[in-house]
Amino acid sequence: MNSDTDLTRKQVIHDFREWLKEKRFEGVAGSGEDGVGVRVYIDVKKIDSTTRETIEARGHGIRLTFVEHVGPIRQT
């Protein structure tokens, strides 16, 4: 992958994550980067299929990983 392509990929990922943050979907606790794509943290008890499909559609072309957890992410 050349640097121009890498820059584009980073920008696409950045834009997607900003969009996700602004939307504040119910059941989405946040997102992270795994070096290739984006990991989306979802509370399986709170998210609905429409939200998931909306995220998948917006993230088309990005390697998305839905990281499922039960209940909120808590201070331990």
Partner 1 sequence: MQSKISDESSIESTFLVPKRVPDVNGIETDVVEVGVIRQWAVNDGNFPRPVPCGVGIAAAFTNAAGTREVGTLGARCVVNNQWAILSNNHVLALNDQLPLGTYIVQDGLGVTPTDVIGQLSNKVPLSEASPNSVDAAIALSGNQYVAGTFSYKLNPTPMTATPYQSVRKDGYMTGTTSGQIVALSANVDITAADGRVFPFEGMIEIQGVGGMPFSAGGDSGSLVVSLPDFRPVAMIVGGSGQLTFASPIQAVMDALSIERFG
Q: Which residues bind partner 1 (CB under 8 A)?
A: 17, 21, 29-35, 39, 41, 67, 69-76
If the CB atoms of residues 7 and 67 are measured against partner 1, the closer one turns out to be: 67
Q: How far is the CB of 44 from partner 1 (least distance, A)?
A: 10
Cα 71 to Cα 63: distance, rounded to the nearest angstrom: 25
Q: How far is the CB of 43 from partner 1 (least distance, A)?
A: 8
Residue pair 34/2 in contact by the 8 Å Cβ criterion:
no
Among residues 43, 18, 45, which one has the least CA distance to residue 28?
Answer: 43
Q: How far is the CB of 58 from partner 1 (least distance, A)?
A: 16
Across the strands, what pairs with 64? Answer: 38
